[in-house]
Structure 1
């Protein structure tokens, strides 16, 4: 049976549970809501990945995932007054999660010998799935469909970087994982800090007209 790196899976699940708990605590929700958001954020993307691959979700096949989520949720409730003050930490956790779940989705897709475009797509779905479910439950607009938000774009670039390093250059998996996760996290945090936005639309004809207008005119 396929086994993904335990350190990466449990790390992603733990951080996902922490992210869900922080989002719940920020809105002063009760303990059950903290647990529910922790579960959705931590294993939601992985469940979507496994369902698309025709598998029973890993979070249901092994008890360690839900136990890890439960432990993180309990700790979050116990240390709620302290955690609720960590506003910037939430952005860092979410940025790390984005890269980690891309890599986990990609690695499983490649292990199933899916074509590279399909593997990158599955990594993208895995990375944004948990956050989308969390935001829907909170009644918020998810970053996936926020105008100009560099969220799915960062996940896509992370997937392409991992493929280039692990498949193209054949670097060792831990090195490719670390580089892709670090790259995604730094890009996501920088985009949030600098308020980078994607254009809402791209008018090619207008761009060509501007280029034509800037060209120096020759003598008549």
Structure 2
């Protein structure tokens, strides 16, 4: 299997259906388009894929909603965690139980749409093991744009993170759109311990210490005022 898409979710019964439909539609249509090109291109990516929703102790109908969508969305799975351990824990469970040669986690609010994964393939082909979406490098688009003071606060926070944990050159550790090779997942995620805030930097710090190559790519990010 080429690609696993992991969606951590906590009480997302309202927003999740639209996100899952968009992910599935994209993967399905791209699979056809890429398949048509396979005879003419050696770099064609196959979108043989799965979607894994990890419910992090949801109290609403998140799990039921996913199960109701399974008949119409191929290779959709749900991991039903009964307790709320945190987004980091949910991401870790999904990544380690996935089957894809490449594994992407993305947010349930669809702030970064699935089509941005196209930007990751060239970097994987260049030998990068982890490709991390960024809202803070050249080429990134924020919709709506952030105010100047929010941008300055973000810059200060990013510099603080880089200085504290040694992630120099990575400007957005918190973006919830990150892709990994199977090998990097299997090496990095079992070593992760943080379940809630700051789980993203931990992933990148461990990966860097293990010698994995990390690349940031600019993404289009849409701000959802109801994001958690």
Q: Structure 2-normalised TM-score?
A: 0.31
Higher relative contact order (CA 8 A, sep 6+): 2
Higher relative helix content = 1
Higher relative strand content = 2
Q: Structure 1-normalised TM-score?
A: 0.31
